[in-house]
Amino acid sequence: MARSYSCNFFFWLSSRPDFVGEVSQAGAFVRHQGIGRWWAAIPTNQWPDDTEFQKVMKQYWIKNYGDRRQEIVFIGLKDEMDKDRIIIILDECLVKNYLASPDIFEDLEDPFPEWFKKAS
């Protein structure tokens, strides 16, 4: 019997650091899209001014990256997933030295279609 797995994740690309990407997968159906901007890319005077927002930002904020992150959730049978192998494969996709020279990554070709126009 074929098993059905699903996952959903948010990601950021070094070639478009202002924008949030989302991938969702259920069974054989996979979709990716841009879903907005990271708060780190929005001037703080345009942020919501409430305690719940501040609480969320505190939870996700990392110096030099802001709220940018890779966030992934796999849903499926635990015994059939090799967690350690999945982590190794995904870690190999990360840019290790982004903060040393972020500008060099903005011109890299990436496989995703344009989600939004860059703010001028």
Residues 86-106 have pLDDT tens digits of 889 989 988 888 888 888 887
Q: Cβ(109)–Cβ(12) under 8 Å?
A: no
Q: If we measure between CA atoms, which residue out of 15, 9, 68 comes closest to residue 37?
A: 68
Q: What amino acid occupies position 22?
A: E
β-strand pairing of 16-26 with 6-13: antiparallel
Reported pTM: 0.74
> For residue 118, what are the contacts with CB-CB under 8 A and spacing of at least 6?
16, 18
| First-to-last C-alpha distance (Å) of the chain | 52
Residue-range domain boundaries for the chain: 6-105
Quote the pLDDT of residue 4.
58
- Over the chain, what is the mean pLDDT? 84
